[in-house]
Amino acid sequence: MTAGETQIRISEIFGPTIQGEGVLMGLPTVFVRTGGCDYRCSWCDTLHAVASEYRDHWLPMSIDAIWREVTRLSGSRPLTVSLSGGNPAIQSLGGLIERGHRDGYRFALETQGSLAKDWFADLDVLVLSPKPPSSGMQTDWDAFDACLRLAGNGPRITLKIVVFDDDDYAYARTAAARYTDLPVYLQPGNHTPPPPDCDTAKVDVEGIMDRMLWLIDRVTADGWFEVHVLPQLHVLLWGNRRGV
Ligand code: SF4
């Protein structure tokens, strides 16, 4: 490592698999999951990239090292790299995006919108996922607006909101009314946090499907016809396992 070289805390890099949620659902992708998050959502399903007890598992990696792994996994065939976390906005990812773009790769990033970075403008897709009341978190809308401001006209931007109950649904309606020019994706919440090894997590598929049907009823009854309602496809296929 040379002095001053950017180091990014990595929880895991895996794929290719498919993007399981939101606007890119079904698209083949390699995930780069960074470690660390400024939130502690009550239902977080990526605790291994959030909680301090996993901190020792997060590897500081240089941009070159990350890029070697992404190109190895993808066979050097350009695809969309999904930058996820934790909150990937904690890290300095501008150099990684620049490196990948040189090779023809695209970059999608998902964040809750609590930290704005100027390199958001270099993304191809920005998924802003503000957290509803059931998360136990409070949205800082000024910080959220700053994310939009810094992203500018660079990436394609969408909103993705997890919904568990009536309060979450009302929050989603309010957020959608605030950003009328952004496509909105709703997804029923997944109540089952992963156990420490994250490999044997059982998912309450029936509960997810019940919430999905309830959500469809709500949006159709309200005449909310611009919204997309989607489940987390990867959770239905693989549960809360890591690395898929
Ligand atoms: Fe987990 Fe995302 Fe909430 Fe962070 S913002 S605690 S990664 S659900």
Which H or E run contains 209?
helix 205-221
Mutate to test the pocket of ligand 1, among 12, 34, 37 (most ligand atoms within 8 A of CB): 37
The position carrying tokens 């990014």 is 8
Report pLDDT for 244. 67
One-character DSSP codes across 42-80: TT-S-GGGTSGGGGGGPEEEEHHHHHHHHHHHTTT---E
| pLDDT tens profile 177-216 | 999 999 999 999 987 655 555 544 678 888 889 999 999 9
Q: How far is CA 211 from the centre of its chain?
A: 20
Q: Is 136 in the pocket of ligand 1 (CB under 6 A)?
A: no
Q: Decide: 189 in ligand 1 pocket, CB within 6 A.
A: no
Ligand 1 lined by 46 (C-beta under 6 Å): yes
Q: Mapping DSSP to helix (H, G, I), strand (E, B) and coil, where does residue 14 land? A: strand
Residue ranges for the chain with pLDDT beneath 70: 1-4, 192-201, 244
Distance in Å from the first CA to the final CA of the chain: 30
Q: Cα of 44 to ligand 1 centre, how many Å? A: 5
Judge if the beta carbon of residue 132 lies within 6 A of ligand 1.
no
The pair phi, psi for residue 77, each rounded to 5°, is -95, 120
For domain 3-238, give the CATH number.
3.20.20.70
pLDDT score recorded for residue 193: 56
In this prediction, residue 183 carries a pLDDT of 98
d(CA 68, CA 74): 10
pTM, full prediction:
0.94
* Lateral strand order in the sheet of 156-163: 59-62, 7-18, 28-34, 80-84, 106-111, 125-128, 156-163, 184-188, 228-229
> Can you tell me the distance from the alpha carbon of 179 to that of 176, in angstroms, rounded to the nearest whole number?
5
Atom of ligand 1 nearest to the CA of 112: 5
Taking CA atoms only, the protein residue closest to ligand 1 atom 1 is: 44
The pLDDT value recorded for residue 3 is 54
- Give the C-alpha separation, 132 to 163, whole Å: 7
Sign for the pseudo-dihedral over CA of 77, 82, 86, 91: positive
Ligand 1 pocket member 36 (CB < 6 A): no
- Identify the DSSP state of 35: P
- What local confidence, expressed as pLDDT, does residue 4 receive? 63
What's the chain's length in residues? 244
Judged by phi (left if over 0) then psi (alpha if -120 to 50, else beta), residue 76 lies in left
Domain ranges, ordered by start, for the chain: 3-238
Q: Do residues 13 and 29 lie in contact, with contact meaning Cβ atoms separated by under 8 Å?
A: no
152-167 pLDDT tens trace: 999 999 999 999 999 9
Ligand 1 within 6 A of CB of 41: yes
- Which residue from 12, 39, 110 has its CB within 8 A of the most atoms of ligand 1, so it is best to mutate? 39
